[in-house]
Copies of this chain bind each other. A is one copy, B any other.
Amino acid sequence: MGSPQGRIPELRKDSVTNRWVIFSPARAKRPSDFKSKSPTTTQTQQQQDCPFCLGHEHQCAPEIFRVPPSSGPHWKIRVIENLYPALSRTLADPSAQYPILNPNPNPNPNPNPNPGSGVKVLGGFGFHDVVIETPVHSVQLSDLSPQEVGEVLLAYKKRIEQLSTHDSIKFVQVFKNHGASAGASMSHSHSQIIALPVVPANVSARLDSMNGFFHETGKCSICEVGVEDLLIDESTHFFAIVPFAATFPFEIWIIPRHHSSHFHELDGAKIIPQLTVVAGFEIGTGCHINPVFPEDAAKVLREVQNS
């Protein structure tokens, strides 16, 4: 086995938890402009070093597209490759190059177990992009006008449409880490898009659960949670709630009124403030402890927006 540096990413399925895990040694090397900065580092210095800022395009991994789509220097949004990707876009179709080991495990009991035969491996094929939401270091997503935020959402939509043309891509996740305590390593406003060759177990469990609920009750389980106590805000096309069994304090779901199963046809979004620590109990059981009742969180959030 090679050194971690030289190794390509790999997806492994744990036969005990039945979950896929992405192994990606390259990720360990990504920089952070939050960590280990001396307290005297100024905003200007941070900006001078930031590859996501206007004029620093050459410090980034290749661009996929920009908005507006001109070649001039005045872009508003850039969608680029992640320089330290969790998955590799240059591997060929995974089912061809890296067959799943033991797709049909021997159905006969074997008194001498052959160690390792229970494992599934997939080459780490997939896409990992960064969406730079503004050319200006000091601007956050919340500083943008509603129209500009709309342009960011349309950039996600365009990229998801491109990714979904790949037969071997089975799932695309758009996510945004805001601030160091949420795990972000870069302070310049951005989000990320990861396209996977598998559907994560959580996602299929969620779909199965919603499907089961619909078959049992004829209703949509997301519509069903929208009780008045939990409502934060609503508009013509969307409503925002604290979910009835919120996993995290002040968790927010933004739900479209129109039913749709894909984000690029406008699915919901989740906003999860990282105020609590996921520790031993949550890791062991997957069952979370939330100190804030959802109806209390919704009340606070309604008051915040009215003040």
Q: Please report A residues at the B interface, Cβ cutoff 8 Å.
A: 1, 4, 7, 10, 12-28, 86, 105-110, 113-119, 171, 173, 175-177, 182-184, 192, 194, 196, 200-203, 205-206, 208-210, 213, 216-229, 243-247, 270, 272, 277-281, 283-296
Contact = CB atoms under 8 A, between A and B. Distances in A.
Nearest to A175: B280
Contacts of A21: 245-247, 287-290
Given A202-B286, A244-B14, A280 B177 contact: yes
Contact of A284 (B106, B109, B173, B220): B173
B290 A209 contact: no
A125 to B, nearest CB: 14
For the complex of A and B, list the 7 residue pairs with the smallest distance between their C-beta atoms, beginning with the closest: A109-B218, A183-B279, A202-B286, A175-B280, A118-B224, A183-B277, A14-B245
A182 B285 contact: no
Contacts of A28: 291-292
16 contacts: A16-B222, A22-B289, A22-B290, A23-B292, A24-B291, A105-B217, A106-B217, A109-B218, A113-B224, A115-B227, A116-B226, A175-B280, A177-B280, A200-B287, A201-B205, A203-B285
A286 B118 contact: no
A7 B293 contact: yes
Given A177-B279, A286-B203, A19 B245 contact: yes
Residue of A1, A113, A224 with most partner-chain B CB within 10 A:
A224
A180 to B, nearest CB: 9
Contact of A109 (B219, B229, B283): B219
A32 to B, nearest CB: 11
Contacts of A272: 280, 283
A18 B205 contact: yes
Contacts of A86: 281, 289
Given A25-B293, A109-B219, A117-B224, 16 more contacts: A7-B293, A15-B209, A15-B210, A16-B206, A20-B245, A23-B292, A25-B292, A107-B216, A114-B224, A115-B224, A116-B225, A173-B284, A184-B279, A200-B285, A201-B286, A270-B283
A285 B172 CA distance: 10
A285 B173 contact: yes
Contacts of A222: 16
